[in-house]
Amino acid sequence: MNRAEAKFAFDRFRDRLACSSVVDATLGETYVQMMKEYLVDLEGAYEAIDVWSVEEYEGLCEYLSNNDQWVSDALAAKETLAKVHDLLVLHKAFLSSNGVLPSYLDLRPSPAYQLSPSGNLELRRT
C-alpha cells in the first residue's frame, strides 16, 4: 500500500461528499481500509504518515464541521472520519513509543467527536 492508493480512496470519498453533498458508505469504508493498510506499511518501516495525508484528513473534517447541515447523512461521514481519526491516534502512539513521532502529527480532536457531560469523547450526532 502506498500514498497514491490511499490518496485515491480519499479523493473519491471527498469528491462525492463535497461535490454531491452525499455520503457514500462504500467509498468511506474503502478510504478507512486504504488508510489502515497504508499505516500498517508505514509502521513496518517505522515511518510516519506524510504531512499531506494528515492535512487532507483535517481539511475534510473542517469542511464537514462547517457544512454538515448541507450533507445528506452527515453522521455517516462523521463516523468514517472518526474511524480514520482512531487509526491516526493509534499510529501516533506507535510512533511515540518508538521515538519517531514528528511534530506535525499533533492531532486536534476530530470534529466528529464532542465532549460529553462526563468528560468523555463521544460521536457527535448532529
**What pLDDT score was predicted for residue 1?**
60
How far apart CA 91 and CA 49 sit, in angstroms, is 8
- In what helix (H) or strand (E) does residue 123 lie, and over which residues does it extend? strand 121-123
Give residue-wise pLDDT tens across range 36-64.
999 999 999 999 999 999 999 988 888 88
Give residue-wise pLDDT tens across range 92-125.
999 999 999 998 887 665 555 554 565 554 555 5
Q: pLDDT band at 10, cuts 50/70/90? A: very high
**What pLDDT score was predicted for residue 72?**
83
Domain count, the chain: 1
Q: pLDDT band at 28, cuts 50/70/90? A: very high
Q: What is the mean pLDDT of the chain?
A: 84
How far apart CA 66 and CA 70 sit, in angstroms, is 9
**What pLDDT score was predicted for residue 21?**
85
Cα angle 107-113-114, degrees, rounded to a multiple of 5: 115
- Amino acid letter, residue 81: L
Residue/partner pairs of 95-103 with CB below 8 Å, 24 or more apart:
95/48, 98/46, 100/46, 100/47, 100/48, 101/48, 102/48, 102/51
What is the extent of the structural domain holding 75?
3-123
